[in-house]
Structure 1
């Protein structure tokens, strides 16, 4: 039956991808005989499945919906496997524990967005707290293909000079060092002691997060919450009610998380959030930039990392009553020229390299609360 054939072909495709890297560009592996046969078999199974459903689709809304989904899947698979795929998109795949996904991602969204705006003549308004890099909109304007846009940057209503402090721990090694994460955690412990927990520790890799989850429990008394141990909303709910919790998070906790009040008083970022090397979309974009004569690091990687950096820093102060310390551990902020772009993109909060200033900051908050 067509359903059994489709299920079998999906299993065959999953096994073919199992022999390949977990995530990569399709172009680099579509010549693999096993993968080519598996995808061709899957395409045939989809066609036969759609043909069998075509005469039955009118019998119910459910069958009609399945038929339409099958048609869409067939068309998408054909586009993803086409030998003459568009050069302005990168085709890639990724494996999951129970399946796989295939994607086609545009290398540049400026042209399709320009075409969309042309079809819909209206006022287009883009607004966010993280659109600028070092106070300028240039990166956003270029990425979106905007022509002479009117821009407006408004200062935050928060009093960062009073509400916040930026601490840059001294003496940390280069982030590529094997002991870097442990050194970061050692530098953060006195901050956690001063704040009595109540912290987000944001990591740029799950490997570092896992190491921290193993290293911290024996060295601090506060509840430890780890990304992946429960759904995000549940972890945040437990964090808010933990009275001193320390939450370890990676990419998804750098943005879209709102914890106002005393529950969150410290945000730690272990490294500058550059995109992970080896990502097929990133590698294709960097290659396209090099071919166009641009500097991929300066023109793409740094600006994107700055925006992610600003998003992570934005977890700290969420209301006019909040107070907290932002701990930036990456020594490249001071040692490399591009570090200035990151620091210049932060709100105007005072900076220090003395842990004593952090302790004094929280001592003032404690005295005020007791008074």
Structure 2
């Protein structure tokens, strides 16, 4: 599907995916911004706290953090990462080390259950190039494999490796013989902005604005129900809780403002029609298509358990998000009679809020120091910043 630049698919932002590249750029920017604070002091290293923390972060006791995700620089020529991992483990943290370019969590979207055997529908752009997914369905976590993904249709079919709880009833499709009616009530349900709002499904009500989509695309409908990053792949429901589409994309307000001289669009969103969704399912898997339910209205209140949070790839993040930190390493090594650092910095983030706690390290070339001194001093500053004794 050749999408207009004024359309953006509804995916989680780079920080909600905790992209390694995004954190590397943010960490380097932080080091540059605090560089003056890390220089000109008698000690080789300094600790620079974030002065603009939210009230949520200020209320936290840093000593309560239990898990640490360690993100490397693009290259580690001095093999610092194993040393840091060991040091953090000795401090009592459960440490997970990520390779360069690996995200802690993949892109996040929504999907929904088809039948009883673990088939789940979502949008292809939620998964990107991943061939697996992590699915949270009715509070239970499953790993799933991609049965088929069609980038042109922007649809993907998953199958969980373990059969879901039989108590969860799949959603029903409305018959394709029943026409769309402009002005009819429609509902979206999914996991928008889950890193901020939490891991409970959210439902939004709107109207069917048009029975066609962008530039009168016959494969889409336009709806006024608000959608946010994370809604992609979720079902569009009618007043009886039956599927009439799959949430796909929203208009890009910035592009529209530029094209119209400043006008901002209001609630212009698009869903793939359920007739095209069913055609995709039929071609993707005969067992999945046979499991599809039609015209079995269960009501909106029963939709929640059948709607899944989807994370691209196999996510290793489990449990309470509030007790985790992310530590990004950046350094520049040089040789001049001996190895030393002209820059060495650890930037520490709260995983739940995505905010920086502090940056610590050496922000300049101290000619009388060496690698061991800088690493040990930085780890000592880290312990001080985390309230460890």
Q: TM-score normalized by structure 2?
A: 0.23
Higher RCO, Cα 8 Å, sep 6+: 2
Tell me which protein shows more strand as a share of its residues.
Answer: 2
